[in-house]
A and B are shown apart, each in its own frame.
Chain A
């Protein structure tokens, strides 16, 4: 019997253990460091970093948060007051969201396997979540949000096999990574260390 643990499962468990300390880290500087580590993890898993998408998302999330002002006013753009609190909140949320995309990219792959019927269901849920999270599918030029959403969901759901093949190719590269297990362990220690040190320093 082959007792070797599936490398994809190891990456998945690593990803799961990174989510909590990453989200809960309050310090922007530390979060930025963790974000950079996540970029490396994505590269190690053999996937490409969607740079343009991450930048657009970060900018739009930050701008969105600025709309609810709190704290000291830093500067004013026309009638919009940019406050310290909302700017920090915006950067924090954009780092959190884009970081979660990176965790998802580095830890979820179609070669994940869990035991039993519910395991298959969980695997499929994670697979679709990754597709939704990292999809480059653009909203169509159809009129109205309902038509756009309809086409978007149709393309994602019925086009899943194509996407699955793409991910499988990537995970073959992933298996070739010799030191991935050590990297994963170090990353988990680093993330939890960063989070816990933040608590104790407070």
Chain B
């Protein structure tokens, strides 16, 4: 059994590792479109949203972003900047919605908002810096896919949170430190 004094660090590290692992799994899925993403690497972030501190959520995000870029080989490319900015926006939106209005917005709603906000930022970047206004052609499809994947991931995470004994144990250890 791990020592309690290390538990916050231990849990944040485990969530980050799980996130990087899931992004590796996502890499294997065949993509019908190049910009298509399932977003399963956000599962640990959604799980931690209710009990991890804001600081730990950002640490988790940074570890995830760099690990993901390293695994996908995009660390030294503009894709990384796109992805990093999109994920940072998504995380900020999710934290805000979760902290401000936890009672009225479900995890599914938060997940969907996070996914769509990430895509919007990425679209703005694409229009401003790389492709110009022609990038807007893919906007409806990109936003539609983001919304669907965000809702699906949110529904799964919500269900997992309800049934999982593991997450309850983790939450108790984290909050009792």
A residues at B contact (CB < 8 Å): 16, 19-20, 23-24, 61, 64-65, 67-68, 86, 89, 93, 96-97, 100, 117-118, 120-122, 124-129, 131-133, 146-147, 149-151, 153-154, 157-158, 160-161
Contacts and interface: CB of A to CB of B under 8 A. Distances in A.
B62 to A, nearest CB: 9
Interface of B is mostly: helix
Contact of A125 (B20, B163, B167): B20
The size bracket of the interface on B is: 35 or more
B122 to A, nearest CB: 22
Nearest to A130: B17
A125 B17 contact: yes
Nearest to B18: A132
B103 interface: no
B2 A16 contact: no
Given A129-B20, A161-B1, A121 B13 contact: yes
Interface in B8-60: 9-10, 12-14, 16-18, 20-21, 24, 27-30, 32, 59
A157 B170 contact: yes
Interface in B63-114: 63, 67, 70-73, 75-76
Given A65-B30, A161-B1, A124 B13 contact: yes
Given A89-B30, A127-B17, A158-B169, 16 more contacts: A19-B70, A19-B71, A20-B70, A23-B73, A93-B27, A121-B16, A121-B59, A121-B63, A122-B63, A125-B20, A128-B16, A146-B160, A150-B164, A153-B164, A153-B166, A154-B165
